[in-house]
């Protein structure tokens, strides 16, 4: 039975920001039904009746990686038939397919600094006139932007301030998943033992440096990889505190862990639906005014319930390319997402790789980027409906 204290906290959650102790109490004591209902009411205020998504192509630039995470199938080795090391013509071909299907985002994804581990990666980069993966991302971002007008968004793991400053002229936003604030998960036998870039201090430094540069950032949490509920709550507050300081976290992805074959965590249990739903609802109550996203392909039969728990975005959906990070989970069609969204009484709208509220306030400093944004954005900052026809 819900304690009087938890009832009071739940009531407060709809009126003002929770503190960490209160959020921990709700995660421990509040029923899922009440937590979801409260989050749904707060989410209705944030969404204004609109749930957004970004129509994208997923450009898997290079999937070698210096890190090894025990749940990952994205990383490949040199002799793997699914190794990806795309040349400029391959990159452009993917982007042009997306342009033809009215995409607006080019999502560049790479492994973490593969040139530090693989001499072959260094040679490949040098063949394109680059000394680092980030330099090649910048080169390919310029190519795609110039030739197709698709707006680049890069997720290349932890980046330095200098590297992000380089990408700021060609990328409307950047992304790095915090995943967890728990350093315990970097210890021996834990998921991030062999992934130095997943140390929370490294990820937090990247997010803070982006804030100093006023770059719109996507981040998020991977739920169910062995964190405690208290560590989950702490992760939410780490993100909230960074955003309160810099105001640049454009979205928070809540992603549920699902075990994958031939990984170190292949026999680990998936995040239970109830636990994940509670985590999503709590994220809305902790970050009432921020954009909360759940990828629909990771919960294909039940993703509509996350609208009830207060989310306002479905993330990037591609009519062209697979989800290279989660290839086991195909994208639902945009038509089916629209139908599910409307069943919940909401309208589905396409957004850019930068959210409307970040088109102002000095977040887009590149005149080049602003010109391309103006070609596809309406007065609200979402994608013009006429562009999608």
Q: Which two tokens stand for residue 113?
A: 């600094």
Residue pLDDT, tens place only, 128-165 = 999 999 999 999 999 999 999 999 999 999 999 999 99
* Model pLDDT, residue 10: 82
Q: Which distant-in-sequence residues (6+ apart) come within 8 Å of 282 by Cβ?
A: 23, 26, 27, 35, 39, 232, 233, 236
Q: Is 281 exposed, middle or buried (0-12, 13-18, 19+ CB in 10 A)?
A: buried
List, for residues 195-240, the tens digit of each pLDDT value. 988 999 999 999 999 999 999 999 999 999 999 999 999 999 999 9
The whole-number pLDDT of residue 6 equals: 72
**Is a pLDDT exceeding 80 seen at residue 16?**
no
User: Distance between CA 230 and CA 65 in Å, rounded?
Assistant: 30
Q: How many residues does the chain have?
A: 389
What is the band of 106 on the pLDDT scale with cuts at 50, 70, 90?
very high
d(CA 225, CA 235): 13
- Summarize the confidence of residues 324-335 as an average pLDDT: 93
Tens-digit pLDDT profile for residues 362-374: 999 999 999 999 9
Three-state DSSP class for residue 253: strand
What is 94-112 written as a DSSP string? HHHHHHHTT--EEEEEE-S
181 close to 228: Cβ distance less than 8 angstroms: no
Residue 292 phi, psi (nearest 5): -115, 130
Domains of the chain: 31-388 (3.20.20.70)
Alpha-carbon Rg for the chain, nearest whole angstrom, is: 20
What residues contact residue 273 under an 8 Å CB cut-off, 6+ apart? 299, 302
pLDDT of amino acid 295: 97
Specify the pLDDT at position 382.
98
75-98 average pLDDT score: 97
> Which pTM does this prediction carry?
0.96
Residue 78 corresponds to which tokens in the numbers above?
């040199």
Residue 255 has pLDDT above 60, yes or no: yes
pLDDT the model gives residue 3: 61
The pLDDT-based confidence of 4 (bands split at 50, 70, 90) is low
């Amino acid at each position: 039975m819900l304690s009087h204290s938890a009832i009071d906290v739940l009531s407060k959650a709809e009126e003002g920001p929770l503190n960490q102790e209160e959020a921990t109490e709700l995660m421990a004591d509040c029923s899922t039904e009440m937590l979801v209902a409260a989050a749904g009411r707060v989410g209705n205020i944030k969404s204004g009746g609109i749930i957004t998504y970004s129509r994208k192509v997923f450009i898997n630039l290079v999937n070698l990686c210096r890190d090894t995470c025990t749940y990952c199938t994205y990383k490949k080795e040199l002799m793997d038939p699914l190794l990806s090391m795309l040349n400029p013509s391959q990159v452009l071909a993917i982007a042009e397919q997306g342009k033809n299907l009215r995409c607006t985002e080019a999502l560049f994804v790479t492994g973490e600094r593969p040139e530090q581990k693989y001499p072959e990666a260094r040679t490949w980069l040098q063949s394109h006139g680059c000394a680092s993966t980030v330099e090649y991302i910048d080169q390919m971002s310029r190519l795609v932007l110039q030739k197709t007008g698709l707006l680049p968004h890069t997720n290349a793991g932890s980046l330095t301030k200098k590297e992000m400053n380089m990408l700021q002229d060609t990328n409307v936003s950047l992304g790095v998943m915090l995943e967890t604030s728990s350093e315990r998960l970097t210890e021996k036998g834990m998921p991030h033992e062999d992934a130095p870039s997943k140390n929370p201090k490294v990820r937090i430094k990247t997010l803070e440096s982006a804030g100093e540069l006023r770059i719109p950032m996507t981040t998020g949490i991977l739920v169910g990889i062995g964190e405690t509920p208290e560590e989950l709550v702490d992760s939410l507050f780490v993100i909230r505190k960074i955003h309160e300081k810099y105001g640049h976290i454009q979205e928070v992805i809540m992603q549920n862990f699902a075990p994958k074959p031939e990984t170190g965590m292949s026999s680990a249990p998936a995040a239970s639906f109830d636990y994940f739903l509670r985590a999503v609802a709590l994220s809305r109550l902790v970050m009432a005014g921020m954009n909360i996203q759940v990828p629909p392909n990771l919960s294909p039969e039940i993703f509509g319930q996350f609208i009830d728990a207060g989310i306002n975005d479905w993330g990037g959906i591609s009519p062209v390319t697979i989800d290279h990070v989660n290839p086991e989970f195909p994208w639902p069609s945009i038509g089916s997402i629209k139908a599910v969204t409307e069943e919940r009484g909401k309208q589905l709208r396409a957004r850019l790789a930068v959210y409307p509220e970040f088109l102002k306030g000095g977040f887009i400093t590149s005149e080049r980027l602003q010109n391309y944004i103006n070609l596809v954005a309406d007065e609200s900052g979402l994608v013009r409906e006429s562009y999608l026809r």
